[in-house]
Structure 1
C-alpha cells in the first residue's frame, strides 16, 4: 500500500514504498544523515589508539578537537535552517554532502595539531545535516504522523554515530591487513571510505527528491516559506519565541548528551575497563543501536498522546522522558562492572533517543512558517550542550565517570523546564481541526478502497471474501 496523501503530505508511513516522493525523501534523508553522522564521528573511535599517537596529541588536545567538531555545528545549524527556507532542503543537503565528503577525506592530510584542528572544524559543519533531515521530513508528512516520521529519520541517521564507532576501527585494521599503510597511519586511508559514499548519496538526493511534495521551490515560488509584508522575518519570529529557547535547552539535555557520550564512550571503556579499541567500539555500538527504534518510539508516543491531550500532551511526554534520562545517566555513572555498565548505558540510551524524538514532535508546531529557523535553533542546542559538557570535563579535571554523575543531575533539572512550554487555545483548536480533517480524509479513502476491492477487475462482479 502506498502512502496516503492529504494536501500532498503523506498521512501514512509505508517503509516499502519507494515510488512516492514522500517516502523516497524519507529514506534518502535518513541515509544522508546516517552518512553525515558517520563521517562527523569517524575520528572518535580512532583518536585514543591511532590518531592521537600518530599526531602526538595530548589529552587536552583530543578534548579540544571534540569541542571544535561539535562547537562549529552550532553556527552551521543556525545557518542551515535559514538556508532551507531560502533555497530548499534538496539543494541544501546536496551542497552539505559534497562539502562533507571533501572535509572528511581532507582530514587525512593533517600532519600537525593545527591542521588537525582545522580539519575537525570543517568536519563539524556536516552535523548541520540533522536540521535538513527534520525540515525535509516535516514538509513531506502530515501532523498525524509527523512525530514518528521526524523521530525515525533522525534516529536511523543518528545510528551512524554508533556504527562508526564499531566500523572505523575495522576499516583501519583492514587497511593494515592489506598492507596499504602502517598501523599508526591507517586512519588516513580509512577516511576516504565514508567520503566516497557521501558523494554517491549526494547524487541520489539531487536526482530523487524535491523540496516539497509538489516540486522544487525554484519552480514553485509560492510554496517557499516567507513572511508576509509587515511581519518580522522568519528567523526573528523564531528567535523571539521563548518556547524555542526552552526546547533549545532541553535538546542540549538529550542530543547534547548523546553527542558527548558518542564522542567519549570509546575512550571511557578503553581507559576504565581496559578494552581494546575494537572491543570498545563494539560496546559503544549498543548505545547508538537504540536509535533503530527508541527515537521513533518517543515520536510515536507523542503522536498518540496528542490525539487525546493535544499539543500540550506532546510536551508532557517530553518532560517525562528527559527527567527519566537524567536518572538513567546517574545510574550508568555508578557502574563499575563492565556488564552492568553496558546494560545501564543501553537503558540510558533508550531515554536519550526517546527524548530527542519527543522534542521534534513538538518543534513543527511552534512556528510553522519559520520551521527551518526553529529546527535550526533547537538543533543547535544539542551542540551547545555537548560543548558545555566537554568544557566542564576539560576545565574541571574530573574523570569521565564523575562528569557523567554530575551531568545526570543537570539533565533531570533541565527536563522540568518543559513545563513552561505552552500552546494557546487557538493553537490547540487548529491542531484538533487539522487532525479531524485528516481522519475524515483517511476514512473516505478507506471507504473508496473497500468499495473498489468489492469488485473484480474484469467484470465488476462482487468478490467473495474467504
Structure 2
C-alpha cells in the first residue's frame, strides 16, 4: 500500500486519502495558529500571564463537546459535507481573532476556534469507507500522522507567513509595534503582520473546504453509505451497555466543569458564574442522556432485541477511550510543557528549547503511520495496542528521571523514542475504531477523540496541582528552591503519565477483544469485491 500511496496518488482511494489528510492538516494549522504569535499578541494587548493562559485554555474548551456533535453530524450527513462545512466555518473564528481589539474578543475567537479542532474525527470515517479492514490501520495512521503535523507546521511557518504579508497596508496592527524573536534574531513587529497571517490561514481553509466538496465522495462507486437510524445519540445493543454508556459520558461533562473551575483561577469567571456554568453543563449531560435514551428506548423497554451478528460490546469503545486519554491526551499535555522543561532543566534559550521540543511533534510524520502499519502487519490489533501502550508507559517513567546531570543528546533521543510509542499507540487506536461498529464509526470516533482532550485537561490540571504542592510561592523565595520544586513536580507528572499508560495497557491485555474480521478484504456486511475507480474519481 505504501508504494501505491505515491504511484497512484491521483486515483481512487489514494486520492481520497491525500485530499482528506490535507483537510485535517489545514484544520490543525488553523487550530494552532495562536502559539507562534503568543509573545507578540501578549505584548500588543498588554495581557497578563493569567490572561495569556486563558486564551490557550479557551482554544481547547469547546473541542470536547464539538467532537461528540461532529461525530453525530458525520454519521448523519457524511464526511464530504461535514468536512467541507467545518473548513469553511474555520474562517469565522480566524477573522474574529484577527480583527480583535480587546481581550474579550480574543477569548471569543479562540473559544469558537476549538470547534475546528474537532475535524479529526471526520476523516476517520471517510478513510474507513475507502479502505478495507486489512489496510485501515495504515490508512488511518497516515491520515492522522500527516494531518497532525499541521500543528508543527504552524509553529514553524506562521511567523514567516506573517513577515511575508507585512507589505499589506497598515499591516493590520492596531497597537504600538513590539519586538519579537525568530530563531534568536530580534525583529520589530512592524514587519510581523500576525493579523493577516491568522486571517489568511482561515481563508485558505475555507477555500480548500469548497475544493474538497467538489472533489470527493463519501464512498467508492457502488458502495452505499450506511447511516444509523438516528444520530441523536449512540446506539447500543444491550441494556447493560446503555448504562455503561451513561457512565462513560460523565467524564466528558466533568472535565468541562474542571475547565470552568480553572477559569476562576485566572479571574475570567467569578465563583457564582462558575456555578451557573456547572448547572448548564449538568443540563447538557441530561440532554445528552435523554437523546441516548430516545435512540435506545425500544431496547430498554424490551421491544427490540438485536441478533447476535448485529451486536457489539460497548466495552470496546470504553477501552479505546481510555487508550486515547493516555496517548493523545499525554501528547497534548507534554507538547505544551516540553519547551519550558528543556529550558529550565538544561539552561537553554527559548528558541533552542522550542526547536528541540518540536521534535516530539515532528515524529507524527512517521510514528502514527507506523502504529497503523504495525497493527495491520503483526496479525493482532489487540496486542499491538497493548505493547505500544506498555512501551509508552515505560518511556514516560524513564523520562521522569531526566535531570540537569543528563546528556542533552540522550534526553532528546529519549523524547523521540517515547514520542514514537505515544503516537504509534494513537495510530493503533484508530486502526481499531472503524472496526467496532461501522455504521456508527463517526460517533465512536467522536467519543474516542473527545477523550483525548479529556486526558489533556486532566493531565495539565494534575501538573498545576503538583506545582502548587512542590513549588514554593512568594516574592522572596530562593530561585534554587523554585527550580528544585519544579523539577520534583515535573518528575511526578511524568510518573503519573507512565503509570496511567501501564494501567491501560494491562486493561487492554485482559479485556480488549480482537475485532471480528480485523484483516478482511471488506467491512462487515459488504461484498468482498474490488471496485475500479470511476472516471470522475481520476484526475
Is 1:412 the equivalent of 2:498? yes
Distance (whole Å) between structure 2 residues aligned to residue 39 and residue 232 of structure 1: 29
Question: Which string of whole-angstrom CA distances, capped at 9 and with x for unpartnered residues, describes residues 80-116 of structure 1?
Answer: 1111100001111011101112212321122222221
Counterpart of 2:82 (choices 92, 96, 101) is 92
Work out whether residues 385 and 425 of structure 2, in 8 Å CA contact, stay in contact via their aligned partners in 1: no
Matched, 1:34 2:36: no
Matches within 5 A, 1:435-450: none
Q: Does 1:275 align with 2:349?
A: yes
CA distance in structure 1 between the aligned counterparts of 2:512 and 2:21, rounded to whole angstroms: 29
Q: Secondary structure at the match of 1:370?
A: helix
1:294 partnered with 2:284: no
Change (3 A) 1:341 1:139: same
The answer to whether structure 1 residue 344 and structure 2 residue 414 are counterparts is: yes
- Aligned twin of 1:388: 458
- Residue of structure 1 aligned with 2:219, choices 206, 212, 236: 212
The separation in 2 between residues aligned to 1:433 and 1:107, in whole angstroms, is 47
Contact 1:44 1:263 in 2 (8 A): no
Checking the alignment, whether the CA contact within 8 Å between 1:314 and 1:361 is kept in structure 2 is no
Contact 2:388 / 2:422 at 8 angstroms: preserved in 1? Answer: no
CA shift, 1:432, in A, is 6.1
1:201 offset after TM fit, Å? 1.5
Shift of 1:295: 0.8
Structure 1 residue 153 displacement after superposition = 0.8
Q: Does 1:377 align with 2:447?
A: yes
Q: Is 1:54 aligned to 2:44, yes or no?
A: yes
Report what 2:430 is aligned to.
Answer: 360
Query: 1:254·1:411 contact (CA, 8 Å) conserved in 2?
Result: no
Match of 2:245? 239
What is the match of residue 463 of structure 1? none
Q: Answer whether contact 1:45 1:168 (CA < 8 A) is retained.
A: yes
Q: 1:345 to 1:431 in 2, by over 3 A?
A: closer
Cα distance change, pair 410–139 in 1 and its aligned pair in 2 (3 A): farther
Contact 1:166 1:284 in 2 (8 A): no
Cross-structure match for 2:389: 319
CA contact (8 A) 1:72 1:121 kept: yes
RMSD of aligned alpha carbons: 3.5
Q: 1:192 aligns with which of 189, 199, 206?
A: 199
Cα distance in 2 for residues equivalent to 1:423 and 1:253: 16
* TM-score normalized with structure 2 length: 0.69
Rounded to whole Å, the distance in 2 between the matches of 1:435 and 1:325 is 36
Task: Find the residue that maps to 1:369 and give its secondary structure.
Answer: helix
Counterpart among 72, 80, 98 of residue 62 in structure 2: 72
Corresponding residue number in structure 2 for 1:25: 16
Structure 1 residues 322, 361: CA separation in 2 closer, same or farther (over 3 Å shift)?
farther
Q: Offset of 1:311 from its aligned partner?
A: 4.1
In the superposition, the TM-score normalised over structure 1's length comes to 0.79
CA shift, 1:192, in A, is: 2.1
CA change 1:95–1:298 in 2 (3 A) is same
Between 367-376 and 28-37, report the one with greater CA deviation. Answer: 367-376
Structure 2 Cα separation of the partners of residues 393 and 313 of structure 1: 31
Question: In the superposition, relative to structure 1, how do residues 327 and 232 fare at CA in structure 2: closer, same or farther (>3 Å)?
Answer: closer
- Give the 3-state SS of the residue equivalent to 1:374 in structure 2: helix
Q: 1:197 to 1:333 in 2, by over 3 A?
A: farther
Counterpart position of 1:6: none
Cα distance in 2 between the residues matched to 1:335 and 1:153? 39
1:151 to 2:141 alignment:
yes
Shift of 1:186: 3.3
Aligned length: 419
- Does structure 2 conserve the Cα–Cα contact (< 8 Å) formed by 1:317 and 1:358? no
- CA distance, structure 1, for counterparts of residue 142 and residue 353 of structure 2: 26
CA distance in 1, matches of 2:236, 2:462: 34
Local SS of the residue matching 1:262: helix
Separation in 2, partners of 1:334, 1:143: 47
